[in-house]
Amino acid sequence: MPAEELGVLIKSAQAVLNQRMDEALRPLGLTVSQYACLQNLLDEPGITGSELARRTFVSRQSANVLLQGLERRGLIERSDDPGPRRERAIALTAEAKQLVATARDEVAAVVTRMTAPLDGARLRTLLSELAACRDALLQND
């Protein structure tokens, strides 16, 4: 069944992509989840912990554990005052901003390797089709 094959292929591609990203990020002392967390904090300052958990594909509790580790490492700082949602604001340190810039380059190299067989038109089509598949699954949520 082609639909079933598609699901297996997407999961397989995701697993290999995660493995390659992990290999690229390991020398920087980051996991894929830590990188995703830092990248989201950089891209959207003031993001809530709940939204951060959703965007990094982990539970709220796992996101808190990630943040605690990043804080111990000196990569994030939390304000002492709770914000309007009773969550303490999280900010990246200067060290974290430099680390994310380097990590983004490493991840971009992995994605470039993954998409090398595709010309621009095929890549745009793939992006569009995968977005349509995702959106179809999100309907009625």
Q: What is the pLDDT of residues 31-67, one digit of tens each?
A: 999 999 999 999 998 888 888 999 998 999 999 999 9
Q: What is the pLDDT of residues 17-34, one digit of tens each?
A: 999 999 999 999 999 999
What is the C-alpha separation between 66 and 33, in angstroms, rounded? 8
Q: What is the pLDDT of residues 1-12, one digit of tens each?
A: 687 899 999 999
140 vs 122: which has the higher pLDDT: 122
The residues, any chain, with a CB within 8 Å of residue 45's CB and separated by 6 or more, are: 91
For the chain, which domains are there? 13-138 (1.10.10.10)
